[in-house]
Amino acid sequence: MQDLQQSFDVSERRACEVVDQPRSTQRYDSSPRDDEASLARRMLQLVKQRPRFGYRRIGQLLRAEGWQASDTRVYRLWRREGLKVPQKKRKRRRLGNSQNSCDLLKSERKDHVWCWDFVFDRTTSGSSLKWLSIVDEYTRECLTLKVDRSITSEDVIDILAELFAMRGVPEHIRSDNGPEFIALALRRWLDRLDVETLYIEPGSPWENGYAESFHSRFRDEFLAMEEFETLMAARQLTQNWRDDYNQLRPHSSLEYMTPADFAARCAASTPETTSATPQTSPPFLQHSGAYPTRPS
């Protein structure tokens, strides 16, 4: 407005009349809230702890701590502080045509479909590390995140047996065609438990989209941020990250609820049935006779 007054040598009243703007806007002096500085400091602390989070997820964390922080307000402070999460370039891919794709056979309830896959990294000395992740596609819970030097099909059976005993048996498990997942001993064991294996089309990882999405977050927020000196350090850090992912990290596809909160809400809305997981392991989960024992 001042530029108009100086350029055309007119009064403030005339300049406001030309641009159809109330004169009161020229006298408004915005005053920041009392908690503006402390809110900005806390926002920067959260950004430092979680550098891959955007302003919406940071805003959700702030509101969970009791701050009056709408997405609009957080975005204004975000822009003011010059914060930005680098955007990844994504390649366009065509959908697969397998009937076991997550787009065609979708999970409809808790423990309906689990997905699993492997991800790899190395220690600072160059030794290989291998993670097995198991995710409930409906609740987005990370049920297992096992790390070791190597994980064989027999290790996969052991991990599943322990998980089935604690949580119960799912209806389906979706995976790619890796040798650990298509092993005959594993398929026979799952068939005895009436667990249907959903193998995606070879060369179509997007058909196992929930596992791929989880691994994207896992690499972005954990593997790219940590260095592992030893296997024991990797195990401890992995457990800490898994607890944080399930209990504290807001998930955008769950309306920014945590997977644990969403799973608890699912359990509260589902009546208890006699098919609940027993306190003691059923006979088919016991190691003896359930599947081939490891050679000595």
In this predicted structure, what is the pLDDT of residue 231? 95
In this predicted structure, what is the pLDDT of residue 292? 39
In this predicted structure, what is the pLDDT of residue 21? 83
In this predicted structure, what is the pLDDT of residue 281? 41
Which residue ranges make up each domain of the chain?
2-80, 113-285
In this predicted structure, what is the pLDDT of residue 222? 95
Architecture of domain 113-285: 2-Layer Sandwich (3.30)
In this predicted structure, what is the pLDDT of residue 13? 85
pTM to 2 decimal places: 0.71
Ranges of the chain with pLDDT below 70: 28-32, 86, 88-98, 270-296
In this predicted structure, what is the pLDDT of residue 270? 63
In this predicted structure, what is the pLDDT of residue 119? 95
Per the structure block, which two tokens stand in for 227? 């260095």
Contact 140, 248 (CB under 8 A): no
C-alpha–C-alpha distance, residues 167 and 124, integer Å? 35
In this predicted structure, what is the pLDDT of residue 294? 36
